[in-house]
Structure 1
Amino acid sequence: MSFGPARMGFGLFVPDFRATFSISTSTVGFVSSLGFTGFFLGLLAAQWMLSRRGPAAPVLSGMAAASLGLVIVALAPNLIMLAAGVFLASSSAGFAWTPFNDAVHRKIRCIDCPSVLSEISSGTSVGIFATGLAALWMVYAGVSWRVCWMAFALLALGVLVGNLVALGRLDKAPPARQAQPKWTNVFQTVALPLFSVAFVFGTISAIYIAFAVDYLAEAGGIPGLTKDTTPALVFVLYGIFGLTGLLTARLKNLIGLPWLLRLLMLAGALSLVFTALLPGSWVGLILSAGLQGVHVMMISALLALWSERLFPALPSFSFTAALLATAAGNVFGPSIAGLASTVYGAPAMFLAAALLPAVTLVALLGRRATRAICKVDY
């Protein structure tokens, strides 16, 4: 719920928001960045709550924020209220994600933790897939987008109750090894590749979420289908291919962390290239959404595994630091991309954005980067 409708729903419904609120491409970028700012602040608040109240408090706060934010969007009479709802709903992702790292280490055997963390991250795919199906239902049933968002809000309330039951049995007190962590504990040279990958990942994933759906729809949609179905199909394919995130731990063990990172950076770059060059075709849609889904879900899982390997005594704290780098990319990416799209056009903007993961891929080929990554690839 937090990473499906609450955080990514704005990008899916951009065409509807354009029609209702008459917003420009640059405004889309700023609203998207505002939402990701909520994600950034949610991460900070979650870490503060986690260290004092345990994992249940931030997760439940996040689902409450999602429910309220989704309701505000559903009822929004103007752009200001829409932006406020997007900000609040998106903050739920920051509240809800990292505390599960802490919860996993309290209740799951160490040998099973990598697989469980991958499964938790891949829950995003299910949320995105379901959001896409809801949008398809909206198109073919002829209902308003406001009905969809109100339904999302009710589902978020149900998820809040489910997590209250699941996490209520955990101890509120944090483990001894998590006591009084300091940011200087994770800001070390060995973590530079982690934070760099996280920032690039955050930048391009946010750009895709904010602009790809609207661009693919405006480019004419898919032959044989109405233009209104394109946004929903993007999310459905994104979610289906994103389920590959369940294989992250196995692939990492099979080919190693350095090569997996390189392949995922390539997937992210190609996703943006296909978005720019092949809109209006089934091939372009499948490659664009599919590669982006693989890129996002596998890197999301890798950040959890990688940060834990670097700082095993601080699993949630180090993951929060990595996600703050991701959130920083989330905030800056859409704003800059929105302005660039207005000036130079969407295809040029997507191609320029593809340079970020491409350059990162080249940097990861260097021996120094490989040695730094392999220090924790065991």
Structure 2
Amino acid sequence: MATKTEEHTARWWPIAATGAGVIALCYGFARYAYGLFVPRFGETFGLTTVAVGVLGGLSTAGYGLGLLLSPRTSARSPRGTVLLAGAAATAGLALMAVAPDVVVFAAGIVIAGGSAGLVSPGVAQLIGETVGARARPRAQTWANTGTGLGLAASAFTPLLAFGWPAIWATFAVLGAAMTLVAWRTLPRTRPAEATTGPARGVAPLMLNSVLIGATSAPYWTFSSSRLTEAGLGPVAATWCWFGIGVAGLLGGLAGPAAERFGLRAGNLATWTLAAAGIALLALPHPGLPGALVSGALFGITYLALTGLCILWAARLFPTRPARGVTWSFAGLGAGQTAASPLAGAAASAIGLGAVFGLTALVALVAWSQLHPRLAPPEGLAHVRHGRPRGTYVPDAARGSRGAGRKASRR
């Protein structure tokens, strides 16, 4: 008879695939697609540049609210949290589609943004509770690539002849269908143990997450403007956005790489590729090939780095990964919030090309993780073969390892 872990390990992919689908809905449609349609929203509601920025801030506020709620809801029911995220995305998109004025539209943005804050911790907690330990890193990182799937699916929608309300209504219908699939597919779990998790080791995770936010914000905000400045048209920018999404699907390989080479090695290799991708937009004339390569590298590394953050958080909080993911994604959001206006101010002074060059250099700060105190924790597979000095192993994992040795002696 198969053990409980073996059963879950054999069935990890339906949970990861469904989680990726809900993440695609919440990030690709409910959160990031807003930026693709800003000109159309401005025409419909008569928005100024300031108003567009305020609406973007409301999306971030909703995201933050979702992150605040997610640890508690995920502890009670990670499946319920994922379903709540899907329902919030669907409701927010539908409200935006039928909004008669900007106030109702703004309410929809807040609700849709909240779905993104709920979904990643919920999916991480569900995988942590239902997938066997050997398959868990793969499940976590492949589920996280749902963001790339959503970006790819929404990339060409601005080129459609339909009005944006019809496109948003279609997003809402797809959201309802995806939420129904999740309701039918995702397993139920018991409430997680009440614990705050280890406090030790959280600061390096937060620093890494803030660095991801700070280096990705200029790309999300100004890459299209940089391509236009370099002589490329809007269709080329759309293809680059599509490339970010499609290439991002390969970010799921970060899980197997971390298992084989270690979390620190995988993280630093990914950071180096991220710096190279950002630096390509610092070239005076990157051209379409350079822009496409830059977008592909950014997509792969952004999804890989956020997936590795989920693994990092899960190792610090073995029984409550949602708590660690919340800390991590809050740091990422803080980095993005602070970096966008700073990048805009710097661009007016030194130009966008120089901003991307400086951002690439900032990404290399991640190599400070060579210091043991800033390094991510390695998994037990690496501990068995000799734990690197200074590497943190959670008490829960250390205790279970010791218990296993005692049992083997008996």
TM-score (norm 1): 0.83
Residue type matched to 1:96 in 2?
V
Identify unmatched segments of 5+ residues in structure 2.
1-24, 379-387, 398-410
The 3 A distance-change label for structure 1 pair 146 and 219 is farther
Q: For the Cα contact (< 8 Å) 1:13–1:231, is it kept in 2? A: no
The 3 A distance-change label for structure 1 pair 273 and 280 is closer
Distance 2:266 2:242 in 1: 24
Q: For the Cα contact (< 8 Å) 1:15–1:214, is it kept in 2? A: no
- Partner residue, 1:49: 73
Q: For the Cα contact (< 8 Å) 1:269–1:355, is it kept in 2? A: yes
The structure, 1 or 2, with the larger RCO (C-alpha pairs under 8 Å, 6+ apart) is 1
1:174 aligns with 2:191: yes
Task: Give how far 1:250 is off.
Answer: 1.9
1:249 aligns with 2:272: no
Distance 2:43 2:338 in 1: 25
Distance 1:210 1:322 in 2: 21
1:131 aligns with 2:143: no
Residue type matched to 1:154 in 2?
V
- 1:320-331 to structure 2, matched below 5 A, reads 320-331=326-337
Paired residue for 2:268, among 253, 262, 265? 262
Q: For the Cα contact (< 8 Å) 1:55–1:103, is it kept in 2? A: yes
- Partner residue, 1:233: 239
- 1:1-378 to structure 2, matched below 5 A, reads 1-17=25-41, 21=46, 23-24=48-49, 31-52=55-76, 54-75=77-98, 83-136=106-159, 138=160, 142-167=161-186, 169-171=187-189, 173-175=190-192, 178-179=193-194, 181-182=195-196, 185-188=197-200, 190-217=201-228, 219-221=230-232, 227-277=233-283, 281-342=287-348, 344-361=350-367, 363-366=368-371, 368-370=373-375, 374=388, 375-376=391-392
Distance 2:109 2:359 in 1: 24
Q: For the Cα contact (< 8 Å) 2:74–2:121, is it kept in 1? A: no
Residue type matched to 1:13 in 2?
F
Q: For the Cα contact (< 8 Å) 1:14–1:214, is it kept in 2? A: no
Identify unmatched segments of 5+ residues in structure 1.
222-226
Distance 1:29 1:161 in 2: 33
Residue type matched to 2:83 in 1?
L
Matched residue SS, 2:265: helix
Task: Give how far 1:232 is off.
Answer: 2.5
Matched residue SS, 1:187: coil
Q: For the Cα contact (< 8 Å) 2:230–2:287, is it kept in 1? A: no
**Whose Rg is larger?**
2
The 3 A distance-change label for structure 1 pair 28 and 203 is farther
Distance 1:212 1:80 in 2: 29
Give aligned-pair identity as a percent.
Answer: 27
The RMSD of aligned alpha carbons is 2.9
Matched residue SS, 1:111: coil
The 3 A distance-change label for structure 1 pair 127 and 353 is same
